[in-house]
């Protein structure tokens, strides 16, 4: 069982349903309507989507800075679990490889009915940069959807919990969960009721 005070979370692909947002932006703003979630089988989208790489980059940049009209939704069950954790266990730490934290932090504050002081978002700008932040904060477990990042975390002594997504379906030695319902079963809640 994981102590919630020693864990932190990635955002995209763990809390935020970023790939549905990507698909919605591609469809609504670029008239690309042939992409389905199951087509996204690798983290580098240009490797698995038949799409102009410059459009992929443009959409990803728009997502980074919050420049889109489509609705970003949380992954099912995330709001319930994180809200309870934030209310009972203190601030929740989110560490993202995004370069900017403000747009996604604002979305988290709107999405989770928590006091803003119960949410901390650190943007590292790189996947590798997450490790240093987590070690500084004494984090022992990190929920992540990018398999390659899990290997970096593991080498640094942080236990990764891989959040199952179509783009991380390779063999690995890590704890894996497929939903927030499954994730909450491995967190030691000590009296937090769901």
The DSSP-derived string for 19-85 is: HHHHHHHHHHHH------GGG--SSSGGGT--S-HHHHHHHHHHHHHT---SPP-BPTTHHHHHHHH
Q: How many CA atoms lie within 13 A of 170 on its CB side?
A: 11
25 and 121 in a common domain: no
**Average pLDDT in the chain:** 94
Residue 54 falls inside a structural domain: yes
Its domain, for residue 129, covers 4-15+75-184
Residue 151 falls inside a structural domain: yes
Residue 191 falls inside a structural domain: no
Residue 176 falls inside a structural domain: yes
Whether the pLDDT of residue 13 is over 60: the answer is yes
- State how many domains the chain has: 2
Return d(Cα 51, Cα 154) in angstroms, integer: 33
Residue 155 falls inside a structural domain: yes
Whether the pLDDT of residue 190 is over 90: the answer is no
- Residue 191 confidence (pLDDT): 54
The CATH number of residue 172's host domain is 3.40.50.1000
172 and 82 in a common domain: yes
10 and 32 in a common domain: no
pTM for the full predicted model: 0.93
92 and 155 in a common domain: yes
pLDDT tens readout for residues 60-106: 999 999 999 999 999 999 999 999 999 888 899 999 999 999 999 99
Residue 24 falls inside a structural domain: yes
């Amino acid at each position: 069982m994981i102590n919630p005070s020693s864990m932190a979370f990635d955002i995209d692909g763990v809390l935020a349903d970023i790939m549905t947002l990507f698909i919605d932006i591609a469809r609504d703003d670029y008239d690309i309507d042939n992409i389905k979630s199951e087509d996204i089988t690798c983290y580098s989208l240009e490797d698995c989507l038949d799409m102009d790489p410059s459009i992929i980059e443009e959409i990803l940049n728009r997502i980074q800075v919050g420049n889109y009209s489509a609705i970003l939704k949380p992954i099912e069950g995330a709001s319930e679990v994180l809200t309870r954790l934030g209310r009972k266990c203190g601030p929740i730490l989110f560490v993202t490889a995004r370069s900017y934290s403000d747009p996604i932090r604002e979305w988290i504050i709107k999405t989770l009915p928590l006091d803003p002081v119960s949410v901390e978002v650190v943007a590292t700008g790189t996947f590798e940069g997450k490790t240093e932040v987590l070690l500084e904060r004494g984090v022992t477990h990190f929920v992540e959807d990018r398999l390659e990042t899990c290997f970096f975390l593991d080498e640094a002594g942080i236990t990764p919990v891989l959040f199952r997504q179509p783009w991380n379906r390779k063999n690995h030695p890590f704890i894996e969960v497929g939903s927030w319902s499954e994730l909450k079963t491995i967190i030691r809640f000590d009296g937090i009721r769901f």
